[in-house]
Structure 1
């Protein structure tokens, strides 16, 4: 046995999460005393709201929460998820269709493990979240990227999707609002994509983790609300991490038709058993309790969004469309490539990101992580002062 052969080919082929890699590098430099400002991680800088933390503290007083519970999730949380799904996605579901997972990432992984056979293709609109293709490939599926650039507002069309469809296509991944772009598909755009998927009897995995973070009066309509007939072909993925500043609590969920839900539950019964009970109780309070703190955070994100977009578009060579959701700005930086900057001539966005980190001490995630070079993702889920200073450093670095 050689050293390399000890690791399976499937695991050896996995790329490290680029967003976490950049964030870890930034934190490492900060630990060395360098004044690095990081836009890398998609993580709210707010504390989890007090009512949610109080619910968790109370749960610690009940010994029953220290025991194994149902693998698919506590009844109180699944009922809260069902109510939230009806309220925000327009879909009535039975709690038996819901499986609580260790964060939204786990829900996406479980969805693809449940529905894909070797060689099945999943159409993946790009720019895409960095973990999607890896999770598809871990399920022996084939990601088929369909790219939409800044000129399209980072939103794919039905014609593009149809051009990518083959007789091996089994599913579509749909994410609105989008990570990494913040793009929100309009009701008409969502309906057209949903009707196309229904016509071709495709499964849809719709990631709705950012659905409550939208701006300018925009609403992110769920694909199952736009096309109700698609519900029996759709897996909804969501969680409390982004809306409620609960990234470390690790509570997500998937909602699926009965047969898929059963298959996913069987997988989870062997893989993790139940998710942390205290965190589940906290998540139930998040969904069912006061929402004032959520709105305050959303308003803060909106204020930061306006600042970062205005400032990014002042950077020589940057073009950043206005995102209507999530908390990301996705800048097209192609015009900044191929010219000398501080003695270096970056040829792609990976090299530009490294240059900006080295010379301006600002961390952003390059477009290579999301499917194509020529872009940088900036999370504006960080403090107002740091947000402005970081972009101003980039403005100064790239000024001609």
Structure 2
């Protein structure tokens, strides 16, 4: 029994060995056509349709960690908003912690510097700890602006600030270790989940601007390996006071003296200050090392350009900390390729060294953000004075305002999500509940982000919100 030779199309005859078919005779396949790979110019005559091969979505194809990882609540809300906008609805979108480039473009010198770097051929791999000019520029920036003089080995450049947080968690935590952080806060819960560590969430309160106190944290520090703090804080737009930060820092130092005597691992501090250049009014940013220098061996700073320069898509961040930790973070992040692009690194280095240009940009940035935040805060304050159930916390830093709509239990509103949908549907006013940041109770607190809206958008939206609140009733 012999099969005919099969040829045709783009096929090239290929000889195959005889094949035994069950208990029957041997089949000589002869020459069977093998497809010739077409050139890019020719293209593929017919694409292979794959969607029907995947079948229903299956969770048993991924690991336990990925199955348990929660998606972003903010992105889910953003999808709702896109649908409304597509229907022609007017929406004041205060949800995303991002910037609309038409409202907040990056510094022109930074953009031109990136383009020049690409033209000059800065397109290959950078050093795993960052290009030397940027590392040096960051060190000079910190010494000039914050009074902190670090050695070169203390700075690590990454593709934005997120890899720093992930890298520190991965570098210093083992499975079963404990990480402590206040809530509300941004994404600590997800990083803890990815690492398989025990998390202790310390609830804060509006009276302290949702900033932790030493009294709230102290009961949990003896068992912790990592304490995570952020100021100015996402999602609240508030800042920790120097007194509170000093008390916490001193307690960390005391805890580490106790551990040193016992020969156990120290308690480390992750201090996220990505918004530190964006402060308003009389608010002044302070670092834990400024207040308690003995914290230096235990503290890693998280920082970068995404918020200060409205450059969320220009992925350049940096960590500063003890060289022993930074060098290991470099190794960890090197294996996942978390480097900032080389052209961007060079451009950021030049911009940080251009003090007049950088200072002028930051001054303008603060002014425009403050205008938007103050307009919202004053609008809500006027509503409260008129007897309506809303209040806000005066903005101190970052791009956020904390607002409480005291509507739970009124007009059938039972949850923060009910309030959110009411304001979105009736007022075209989009905001994010504090549940997205770990504060799970239905307290009526929300984050408002002003980076993607104009002052006119805000002024037009406030009367719509007031009308909804009046309709609900006092």
Same fold (TM over 0.5): yes
Give the equivalent residue in structure 2 for 1:386: 457
Give the drift of 1:256.
2.2
**Which segment drifts farther, 269-278 or 39-48?**
269-278
Separation (CA, whole Å) in 2 of partners of 1:332 and 1:26: 21
Give the drift of 1:369.
0.6
Give the equivalent residue in structure 1 for 2:331: 266
Separation (CA, whole Å) in 1 of partners of 2:151 and 2:82: 43
Q: Is the 8 A contact 2:189 2:438 kept in 1?
A: no
Give the drift of 1:346.
2.1
> Of 231, 254, 271, which aligns to 1:199?
254
Separation (CA, whole Å) in 2 of partners of 1:311 and 1:79: 44
Q: Which entry has the higher C-alpha Rg, 1 or 2? A: 2
> Of 425, 428, 437, which aligns to 1:361?
428
Give the equivalent residue in structure 1 for 2:172: 115
> Of 61, 74, 77, which aligns to 2:119?
61
Separation (CA, whole Å) in 2 of partners of 1:118 and 1:255: 25
Q: Is the 8 A contact 2:128 2:339 kept in 1?
A: yes
Give the equivalent residue in structure 2 for 1:318: 390
Q: Is the 8 A contact 1:150 1:332 kept in 2?
A: no
Q: Is the 8 A contact 1:73 1:100 kept in 2?
A: yes
TM-score, normalised relative to structure 2? 0.79
Give the drift of 1:178.
0.6
From the superposition, tell whether residues 83 and 18 of structure 1 become closer, same or farther in structure 2 (CA, over 3 Å): farther
> Of 182, 185, 195, which aligns to 1:139?
195
Q: Is the 8 A contact 2:182 2:212 kept in 1?
A: yes
TM-score, normalised relative to structure 1? 0.93
The answer to which structure has the higher helix fraction is 1
> Of 52, 56, 80, which aligns to 1:25?
80
**Is 2:225 the partner of 1:170?**
yes
Give the drift of 1:273.
5.5
Give the drift of 1:19.
2.6
Separation (CA, whole Å) in 1 of partners of 2:141 and 2:134: 10
User: Once superposed, what is the RMSD of the aligned Cα atoms?
Assistant: 1.7
Give the drift of 1:166.
4.3
1:8-47 map, 5 Å:
8-45=63-100, 46-47=104-105
1:111-260 map, 5 Å:
111-129=168-186, 131-167=187-223, 169-201=224-256, 202-260=267-325
Q: Is the 8 A contact 1:205 1:235 kept in 2?
A: yes
**Which segment drifts farther, 279-288 or 182-191?**
279-288
Q: Is the 8 A contact 2:117 2:344 kept in 1?
A: no
Give the paired residue count.
391
Q: Is the 8 A contact 1:308 1:380 kept in 2?
A: no
User: Which of the pair has the greater relative contact order for Cα pairs under 8 Å at 6+ separation?
Assistant: 1
Task: Note the alpha carbon deviations across 1:270-289, whole angstroms, 9 max, x for none.
Answer: 10153211221232233222
Q: Is the 8 A contact 1:187 1:221 kept in 2?
A: yes
Q: Is the 8 A contact 1:184 1:323 kept in 2?
A: no
Separation (CA, whole Å) in 2 of partners of 1:234 and 1:89: 15
Q: Is the 8 A contact 1:90 1:222 kept in 2?
A: no
> Of 134, 138, 147, which aligns to 1:77?
134
Q: Is the 8 A contact 1:126 1:146 kept in 2?
A: yes
Give the equivalent residue in structure 1 for 2:468: 397
Separation (CA, whole Å) in 1 of partners of 2:222 and 2:417: 32
Give the equivalent residue in structure 2 for 1:295: 363
Give the drift of 1:258.
1.5
**Is 2:451 the partner of 1:347?**
no
Give the drift of 1:50.
0.8
Separation (CA, whole Å) in 1 of partners of 2:271 and 2:155: 14
Q: Is the 8 A contact 1:89 1:224 kept in 2?
A: no
Separation (CA, whole Å) in 2 of partners of 1:358 and 1:267: 46
SS at 2:128's partner residue?
coil
Task: Note the alpha carbon deviations across 1:19-61, whole angstroms, 9 max, x for none.
Answer: 3332343234323322111000112330011111111121122
SS at 1:336's partner residue?
coil
Q: Is the 8 A contact 1:112 1:139 kept in 2?
A: yes
Separation (CA, whole Å) in 1 of partners of 2:160 and 2:83: 25
Listed as ranges, the gaps of 5+ residues in structure 1 are: none
Separation (CA, whole Å) in 2 of partners of 1:20 and 1:224: 35
Q: Is the 8 A contact 1:74 1:280 kept in 2?
A: yes
